[in-house]
Amino acid sequence: MWEELRNMCSETSLTDRKDWCKWLLGKSGVFSVKSMYHALKINQVKCPLKNLWFIKVLLKIKVFLWLLFKKSILTRDVLKHRGWEGSDTFLFCSEKESIGHLFVHCSMAKYGWSVAQCALDIRTDFDFNSVSDIINCVFRFPSSVRSLVAVGVASVVWSLWKTRNAACFNNFFPYDPTSVLAQSALSMNWWADLQIRGLRGLQHRGARMQLRFSVKRRVGTDGA
């Protein structure tokens, strides 16, 4: 390594001119997106979670999903690791708040996944052990229905996060787990217009089934 460094220095001639930066991936020496993209394409650099960006949801949801699967969203355990002095207890139970607990192990999350599975008429169980299992599950489905399943998963994840934030910042706690279902159903319904025409109706139907289930469950709870 030392010999390589010495050889590089021996080929360098010093002048009185000021130093400047030169972009080596283009002939002009100036950075351009085209030259960077071309270099990535030639070197076949793999983009992690590339398929995530093709999900038919709003851009901010895609960014949130990317942060989630990179384990970079600000749950209480992450904040504690960064020096936050507040409690790391999850607001909906006595467990420690973490990405895994909020989106996978919490009883509210498990309930949301089970209902989403029924609403989308999915035969495969949404049985997750980690956040990574969520994205891996989506891309195991055939391409004909993968987009629909991905939207359903995104709606549940986004609803869980919004419900958690409403409790944290507005002191608004869910009446019961059906609140997450209702929010998820509304999201699915709003995002349906982003789908290709063949899946648009199926997504609307899944959203209606999910919303109907949440209303029936709430009416039954109130009646009891």
Give the domain ranges of the chain.
2-43, 50-223
What secondary structure, in 3-state letters, does 134-199 show? HHHHHCCCCHHHHHHHHHHHHHHHHHHHHHHHHHHHHCCCCCCCHHHHHHHHHHHHHHHHHCCHHH
pLDDT at 60: 92
Q: What integer is the mean pLDDT of 142-159?
A: 80
Q: What is the pTM of this model?
A: 0.72
Cα of first residue to Cα of last residue in the chain, in angstroms, is 76
Is 70 exceeded by the pLDDT of residue 222? no
Which tens digits make up the pLDDT trace of 183-192? Answer: 877 887 777 7
Which tens digits make up the pLDDT trace of 98-133? Answer: 998 888 888 888 887 877 777 666 655 566 778 887
Return d(Cα 185, Cα 20) in angstroms, integer.
55
pLDDT at 220: 47
User: What pLDDT band is residue 224 in, cutting at 50, 70 and 90?
Assistant: very low
129-133: long-range contacts at Cβ-Cβ below 8 A with a sequence spacing of 24 or more?
129/104, 130/100, 130/104, 131/68, 131/69, 131/71, 131/99, 131/100, 131/103, 131/104, 132/69, 133/104
Both structure tokens of 44 = 């076949």
Which tens digits make up the pLDDT trace of 21-61? Answer: 888 888 888 888 888 888 877 776 666 677 778 888 899 99
Is 50 exceeded by the pLDDT of residue 172? yes
